Amino acid sequence: MHLDDLYRQVIMDHYQHPRNQGELDGGIKVDLKNPSCGDEISLRLKVEDGIVRDVRFQGSGCSISMASASMMTEAVKGQPVDKVLELNKAFRAMMKGEDVDPDELGDLEALHGVSKFPARIKCATLAWQALEKGVQEPRQ
């Protein structure tokens, strides 16, 4: 177990410079909390014609949860909902330590090391839980 496997440079970069942070006018809003640790995320999604047109997040939490949220927004922005759900499935599988095609995950693969830190998996999946809830809500 090496710390560098967990805290990869790309993760720390997202933590320090979160992408797609902020509010959106309208759209779907999902607020999620991890009651056991206090991490919070507020996700905003604009889904039109089955495509995630825009996505923003705000929140507070550890580096893993905030970086994962930022990386998730980059990965899903502009993608069809079906593809987003597939990506969600692949990401969750990676967290469980299952073999996943690295090409499918792209940059998200940097979070691979989290699977070796069982106590931190819930940090990395918080944003994805919010996303899953959001895209499955009845269309606006």
Give me the residues that bind other proteins (CB under 8 A), please: 1-3, 6-7, 9, 12, 15-16, 36-40, 60-64, 117, 119-120, 123
Choice between 12 and 48, CB closer to other proteins:
12
CB of 51 to other proteins, least distance (A): 34
Choice between 123 and 127, CB closer to other proteins:
123
CB of 135 to other proteins, least distance (A): 27
Closest CA to 135 of 64, 73, 58: 73
CB of 19 to other proteins, least distance (A): 17
Choice between 39 and 109, CB closer to other proteins:
39
Choice between 33 and 53, CB closer to other proteins:
33
Residue with token string 């691979």: 112
Spatial separation of the C-alpha atoms in residues 47 and 14, rounded to whole Å: 24
Spatial separation of the C-alpha atoms in residues 50 and 97, rounded to whole Å: 30
At 63, which helix (H) or strand (E)? helix 63-76
CB of 101 to other proteins, least distance (A): 28
- Contact (Cβ atoms closer than 8 angstroms) between residue 92 and residue 70: no
- Contact (Cβ atoms closer than 8 angstroms) between residue 41 and residue 58: yes
